[in-house]
Amino acid sequence: MAGKTLYDKLWDAHLVKQRGDGSALIYIDRHILHEVTSPQAFEGLRIAGRKPWRLDMNVATPDHNISTDSVERAAGVDGIPDETSRIQVKTLDDNCEYFGIREFGMNEMGQGIVHVMGPELGASLPGMTVVCGDSHTATHGAFACLAHGIGTSEVEHVLATQCLVTKKMKNMLIVVDGVLGNGVTPKDVVLAIIGEIGTAGGTGCAIEFAGQVFRDMSIEGRMTVCNMAIEAGARVGMVAVDDQTIEYFEGRKFAPTGEVWDQAVAYWETLQSDTDAVFDTVVALKGEDILPQVTWGTSPEMVLPVTGVIPRSEDETDPAKKQGIEQALRYMGLKGGTPITEIPVDRVFIGSCTNSRIEDMRAAAKVAKGRKVSGSVKQVLVVPGSQMVKAQAEAEGLDKIFIEAGMDWREPGCSMCLAMNADKLGSGEHCASTSNRNFEGRQGNGGRTHLVSPAMAAAAAIAGHIIDVRTFDETYVGESA
């Protein structure tokens, strides 16, 4: 009999009941809640007179539509200027208090974007099933969690039963061997993968990322990659446990200690695919072939190396793709045949659950240090992913580097990734963004997003247009992945 994949092992460990109709109940170890996708679920519980199954599996924080402005933020929840946003954040506070769920309040140490705060607090740990009403929950797969986004009806279901009704997915392996060149980051790796397999390439699959590039990558870098599994169509993205994984969690707030820690580590060390495990699909890329990536269109698969040229619709023979290119170029206000490096940039966003961790802040600061934002750029938002990232960055003096370069250093939250608060693009504005989606209107009605790594975003801010961070400055040496 063939061995098991990491996904098979996690599935088997959490299977409560396989039902005759093909569905299964799996047990959920961690449920992370935020203000946007939880109110209707809590309301459902109240209407049905139900209580959460247990409290110690849930953790909540507001992130999506809180202000990142320090003055507004200092005024507390009552200071949120938009009434609907204020009501939503208050509703989360009220629901957590009413049901007894641990919440990290808006200005409390520990608060942050759900997928930044979960790992840094050790609220999510290797081998867990983690769900959240947010599609980027795959982030927690970076340390071998079976983690995925769920809808609000499922949020209510998990609250009430600690289980999720689901079906087993297929196994997909993405191997990236070799080493990454200077200036090539985890973000570039995942964008290159999406460019290769497409935004529906992983539909119905749990992806495991393996190979030398991921072994050499930091845990934070692995989070960036797993975070965007959904942009490849897969709800789940994972990396096996190694020594780095275990080191990452030692001493974290909710991580075990003493004997229980040793017991946990012994279990975590088993969280790899067996050597004879069989995957339904295998995709292989070479680390050396990956260059810094930039999206030019309105889907994450519309991505090219920074050395590339925007495609011309007339060169495309497939009618559906041709229509897609035309639609994207029209929305983006770009012409086929233009070099990627000639794309102008009006605003820059450095943040989001994809790229707002301390290593991302350091990578951006390294490029920004001693330089000034181009006069043609209206705004550069640097938004740390959590209170802890903010505190660490300030302890390292990164905030000063950003401010001296002419960038805005903000309070933690989701910010311009989805523009639910005041941080948004104006119509027609181009943005070099470290977020995860370049959909039409995502960062503001009519806004034009170009997904890039933190180093590329910082370089674009200085240059005023997209620029290859590797040649940006002869002295620049990229962070090794």
Instruction: Identify residue 111 by its one-letter amino acid code.
Output: Q
473 part of the interface to another protein, by CB under 8 A: no
Of the residues 157, 187, 357, 390, which one makes contact with another protein according to CB under 8 A: 157
- Burial label for 247, CB within 10 Å (0-12, 13-18, 19+), is exposed
22 binds another protein (CB under 8 A): yes
Nearer of residues 264 and 389 to another protein, judged by Cβ: 264
Q: Which of residues 359-388 bind another protein (CB under 8 A)?
A: none
The rounded distance, in Å, linking the Cα atoms of 46 and 67 is: 29
User: Of 147-155, 185-193, 217-225, 336-344, which part binds another protein (CB under 8 A)?
Assistant: 147-155
Contact positions with another protein (CB under 8 A) in 282-301: 299
If one asks whether residue 112 binds another protein (CB under 8 A), the answer comes out as no
- Give the residue, chosen from 3, 76, 81, 204, that forms a contact with another protein under the rule CB under 8 A: 204
Q: Does residue 410 belong to the site contacting another protein (CB under 8 A)? A: no
Selected range binding another protein among 58-66, 105-113, 286-294, 334-342, rule: CB under 8 A = 58-66
The one among 191, 210, 264, 461 contacting another protein by CB under 8 A: 264
Single out the segment in contact with another protein by CB under 8 A; choices: 105-113, 162-170, 345-353, 357-365: 162-170
Residue with smaller CB distance to another protein, 25 or 179: 25
Does 256 help bind another protein (rule: CB under 8 A)? yes
Segment interacting with another protein (CB under 8 A) among 21-29, 220-228, 271-279, 359-367: 21-29
Among 6, 10, 33, 36, binds another protein (CB under 8 A): 36
Task: Kindly tell me which of 21 and 78 has the beta carbon lying closer to another protein.
Answer: 21
Per-residue binder mask for another protein (CB under 8 A), 308-347, x = binder: ------------x--xx--x--------------------
Q: Is 184 in the site for another protein (CB under 8 A)?
A: no
Q: Which is nearer to another protein, 167 or 286 (CB)?
A: 167
- Does the protein bind another protein through residue 422 (CB under 8 A)? no
Shorter beta-carbon distance to another protein: residue 234 or 361: 234
User: What span, in angstroms and rounded, lies between the C-alpha atoms of 480 and 181?
Assistant: 8
CA distances, 438 to each of 63, 255, 333, 340, 341 (Å): 20, 35, 14, 15, 18
Q: Which of 112, 233, 384, 478 binds another protein (CB under 8 A)?
A: 233
- Asked if residue 102 binds another protein (CB under 8 A), the reply is yes
Which residue from 50, 51, 335, 372 is in contact with another protein, where contact means CB under 8 A?
50
Nearer to another protein, 27 or 476 (CB): 27
From candidates 107, 199, 218, 244, binder to another protein by CB under 8 A: 199
- Closer to another protein at the Cβ: 224 or 421? 421
237-245, 260-268, 272-280, 374-382 -> range binding another protein (CB under 8 A): 260-268
Give the nearest distance from C-beta 365 to another protein in angstroms: 29
Cβ-based nearer residue to another protein, 183 or 311: 311
